[in-house]
A and B are shown apart, each in its own frame.
Chain A
Amino acid sequence: MRKRVLALFSMLLVFAIFAAGCGNGNETGSKANADGGDKNTEETAKGSITAVGSSALQPLVDEAANQYMSTNQGATINVQGGGSGTGLSQISEGAVDIGNSDIFAEEKDGIDGSKLVDHKVAVVGMGPVVNKDAGVEDITKKQLIDIFTGKIKNWKDVGGKDEKIVIINRAEGSGTRAVFEKHALDGATPAKAQEQDSSGTVQKIVSETPGAISYLAFSYFNDSITPLKVDGVAPTEANVETNDWKIWAYEHMYTNGEPKGLTKEFLDFILSDDIQSSLITKLGYIPVTGMKVERDADGNVKNK
């Protein structure tokens, strides 16, 4: 009897703690953050922050957070995925400390970007990829648009094998898809086709499905798929840096207001030469410092 009561009580207790944790987690986080900012200006900041959003950026933030935490005892950085939309909405509601996004806040409907501060930490190049069987390596931009809008339905029309084209889209609202539609398809709406949730799945499907075409970030390119050249330009880091390859995006880490305390320390850490030159290239991103051009939210490009 006593044991059972004890068990019941402990269950209730666990539940209560869990509920309290859910409710106040963000508050304590930001409070700790504020404390860190006030007290430890000369030392490393302590406390806990949360970064949420873009799954394309997640591997980088995860790895950087691990490195940061191993050298700075007492600092906790929680990194979660959830997509660019989640990152932007959570940061504009002030629910998290950092919101990760592949797209500019101005590009997303329903986000008030006025209070958000943009930190561009990396650049990610993206490109169309096809199954190896398609027999195509180079197409024109017009052909690419025609394929994705459903006007061209067979690979033989663009110089490949006689094989039906299978389009694989990313989910509507995905950061990668938004970038691809804007810069590769010139804003054209792709035909209804199957949609997949994650880059990993897309990579697997394209490598296994004859005639498949999709688009991926450079970091997901490998030997099992064929990246396409567009108008003769190869999807390489060097071409992105000069904007010869136009399908790329900044990886943004948004903060609500100017960053303070641990948030600021961590952002500085990611932007440090150390991380920019080693970790970012290692994980397949392009350092923002190496870019020879700059692009704004409206897509205007100018030389740095």
Chain B
Amino acid sequence: MKGESILELKDIKMTEKQWNSSTKIWTEKRGRILTFTSVSIMIMIAISILYFVASKGFSTFTVNKASIVDFFTGIEWKPGSLNELGKPIVGALPLIFGSFAVTLLAAIICSPLAVGAAIFMTEISPKFGKKVLQPVIELLVGIPSVVYGFVGLSVVVPFLREHLGGSGFGIAAGTIVLTVMILPTITSLSMDAIESVPMQIREASLALGATRWQTIYRVILKTSLPGLLTAIVFGMARAFGEALAVQMVIGNSTVIPTSFVEPASTLTSILTMGMGYTVMGKAENNALWSLALMLLLMSLVFIIIIRILGRRRVY
């Protein structure tokens, strides 16, 4: 037995020597070149997009001389016309308000539902959850946003009009559609977070005499909290950037609404609506790029938040 294993070792050494000759070096190099090319292409794409959006987005303020303060505080969005100072009217506050309103409301409604579902699928009924609920939730991810928008337009809007009054278009409809859209994202990420809580922690808690609910509530939720928060922020990032479905149900009126069933607008809805109608390089077009830049910066903020939350993940 002993002799055999030594022989084997020798064999391996032999092959390693052969490898060392030239193949190995070539394989290493080849791998390096391939990965390096991919990485540099990705970096180039990211940098060029950042540069392009930023240069276009800032030109509203540098070339067209619109005021940045107006952009964040003004309530009149008419980038095609000039105000009395000869500057384009780019008050994006109603759009920013709309974006944050639907995103936050959707997150508030969705988070308890999603985390509850995740607990059910991992802790309470893992078999049924894995076999039936998870595929259903994953199915929801695959539905294109235009379908969500169309369902919202055909079902949610008339429903709200009949029961809450108004035209039905507005923040309420947008929130409902977004809630359904981000539900699968938050649920599956929450499931991952809860599942990654080590078994020993559960066993320790149960061994101390805690009931199942006490274990879930006091131990599992607490330990997986950073992961759950990451899931929610991911969901919010998705909601903030969603364009098509929201555009179809929110009504796209650039005012700050006084009720949930009054037409409002979001950054994305005005951006997608205006795209086809503006001429490259004009103030109207640059103003849309500023909205795009704003969205880009917001996604940066979301990523930073996710990073900070991720760092806290210790058991």
Query: Contact check: which of A93, A166, A172, A192 meets B277 at CB < 8 Å?
Result: A172
Interface residues of A in 67-125 (CB under 8 A from B): 81-86, 88-89, 93, 108-111
A166 to B280 alpha-carbon distance, docked (Å): 33
Bound-state CA distance A108–B278 (Å) is 9
A193 touches B263 (CB 8 A): yes
B310 interface residue, CB < 8 Å from A? no
Q: Please, which residues of chain B bring their CB within 8 A of the CB of A83?
A: 275-277
Contact of B41 with A by CB under 8 A: yes
Contact in complex: B80, A173 (CB < 8 Å): yes
Which chain A positions have C-beta within 8 A of B276?
A: 55, 81-86, 171, 173
A190-210 CB contacts (< 8 Å) to partner B: 192-197, 201, 204-205, 208-210
Q: Is the CB of A173 within 8 A of B253?
A: no
Known interface pairs A172-B274, A195-B273, A209-B168; A88-B80 also in contact (CB < 8 Å):
no
Given A110-B281, A174-B277, A209-B161: A194 and B252 interface contact (C-beta under 8 Å) = yes
Which residues of chain B from 135 to 166 have a CB within 8 Å of any chain A CB? Answer: 153, 158, 161
Contact B255 A192 (CB under 8 A): yes
| Nearest chain A residue, comparing its CB with the CB of B244 | A197
Which B residues are in CB contact (< 8 Å) with A173?
80, 274, 276-278, 284
A 4-40 binary contact with B (CB < 8 Å = 1; else 0): 0100100010010000000000000000000000000
CB-nearest residue of chain B relative to A201?
Answer: B248
Q: Do A171 and B277 have beta carbons less than 8 Å apart?
A: yes
State whether A171 and B279 are in contact (beta carbons under 8 Å apart), knowing that A195-B252, A209-B168 are contacts in the complex: no
CB A109 to nearest CB in B, in angstroms, measures: 6
- Give B145 Cβ to nearest chain A Cβ, in Å: 14
Q: Chain B: how many interface residues by the 8 Å CB criterion?
A: 34
Type the 1/0 row for A151-190, where 1 means its CB is closer than 8 Å to any CB of B: 0000000000000001000011110000000000000000
CA distance A81 to B30 in the complex (A): 44
Q: Which chain B positions have C-beta within 8 A of A194?
A: 167, 169, 251-253, 263
Min CB gap A171→B, angstroms: 4
When A173-B284, A194-B167 are in contact, do A110 and B41 touch as well, CB less than 8 Å? no
Output the nearest chain B residue to A177 by Cβ-Cβ distance: B277
CA–CA, A81 to B275, complex, Å? 12
Q: Which of A5, A166, A171 has a CB less than 8 Å from the CB of B167?
A: A166
Q: Which one, B168, B251, B278, contacts A85 given CB within 8 A?
A: B278
Chain A 191-235: CB-based contact to B (< 8 A → 1; otherwise 0): 011111100010011001110100000000000000000000000
Interface residues of A (CB under 8 A from B): 1, 5, 8, 12, 15, 55, 81-86, 88-89, 93, 108-111, 166, 171-174, 192-197, 201, 204-205, 208-210, 212
Residue ranges of B at the interface with A (Cβ–Cβ < 8 Å)? 27, 30, 34, 37-38, 41, 78, 80, 153, 158, 161, 167-169, 247-248, 251-255, 263, 272-282, 284
Q: Which 9 A-B pairs have the closest CB atoms?
A: A83-B276, A173-B277, A194-B263, A194-B251, A89-B279, A195-B252, A171-B273, A110-B282, A85-B277
